[in-house]
Amino acid sequence: MKRVFFVLAFLIFLLPVFAGGIDTLYTKANAEYDKELYTNAVDDYLQVIKNGYESPEVYYNLGNAYFKLNDYPSAILYYEKAKKLAPDDEDINYNLKVVNTKIVDKIEPLPELFLKRWWKSFYNVMNSTTWAWLTIISFIAFFFFLSFYLLSNKIVIRKFSFYLGILAVFITILSFVLGFEKYNAEHNQKEAIVFVPTLTVKSSPSESSVDLFVIHEGAKVKIVDKVGRWYEIRIANGSVGWLPVDAVKKI
């Protein structure tokens, strides 16, 4: 038991040291970027991420550094990672739009229904963690109002508690659903960026299968399935096919 205590105490002691090291490395990377030492900045930003730290700012700055090095597929990859964490950030979306003008493929996406666009914009208001906290708080509020409703002898307070309790239930259900949708968008919708200059998409997971269409480095694909060393993918215009796993990097 003492050994466990000392290990925990040691880890707690190391936490601020570790956080300080990450902060120093991130500051160093930013300084290197400002001095136009973009290769050094990339190495340090990647080290920050490798140490388990992620944020829209780190991914965004790394995307900027890759953009300065004219490595457009890598810039798109990290702008997309930043966008997953901060989908409504204007700078991220603007830079992503700019870098997409630098690649070969200009794939026109299929039009989305208004309701689907509205629903996505709604759950993107907050991240999944914030939606989860709202769910917990509103659920606790429901029991708080329920206790007032059951224990109070005054009609006015009972009425007031009843309607607020119904509102709390509604918010709990809505925030849970929105949080689930946001979590799914953050973790379960697998997308990737092509890192091969020219890539022929196949009709099945085999080199000998029929050629369907060609895409180029920097193109974004949605991963639908995996068989062996092949991904089934869909691109924004709805076209579907298969490509090698090592031809793309996941967002």
pLDDT tens track for 179-212: 998 888 777 778 999 999 999 999 999 999 999 9
Q: How confident is the model at residue 20 (pLDDT cuts 50, 70, 90)?
A: low
**Domain 191-250 in the same topology as domain 2-100:** no
Tokens of 16: 């601020």
Q: How confident is the model at residue 44 (pLDDT cuts 50, 70, 90)?
A: very high
Residue 10: pLDDT over 70: no
Tokens of 228: 């062996």
Residue 65: pLDDT over 60: yes
Stretch 217-246: mean pLDDT, rounded? 95
pLDDT of residue 120: 81
pLDDT of residue 19: 47
pLDDT of residue 111: 77
Stretch 113-137: mean pLDDT, rounded? 85
Stretch 35-62: mean pLDDT, rounded? 94
Residue 4: pLDDT over 50: no
Q: How confident is the model at residue 117 (pLDDT cuts 50, 70, 90)?
A: confident
pLDDT of residue 21: 67
Share above pLDDT 90 across residues of the chain, in percent, rounded to a whole number: 68
What CATH number does the domain located at 191-250 have? 2.30.30.40
Q: Say which residue, 189 or 102, is predicted with more confidence.
A: 102
Ordered by start, the domain boundaries in the chain are: 2-100, 114-187, 191-250
Q: In this structure, is the dihedral angle defined by the CA atoms of residues 64, 66, 72 and 74, taken in order, positive or negative? A: negative
pLDDT of residue 90: 93
Stretch 63-73: mean pLDDT, rounded? 97
CATH superfamily of 2-100: Tetratricopeptide repeat domain (1.25.40.10)
Q: How high does pLDDT run on average in the chain?
A: 88
Query: Whole-model pTM above 0.95?
Result: no
User: Of 214, 231, 234, 232, which Cα lies nearest the Cα of 222?
Assistant: 234
Contact assessment for residue 231 and residue 248, using Cβ atoms and an 8 Å cutoff: yes
Identity of the highest mean pLDDT range in 107-111, 148-152, 211-215: 211-215
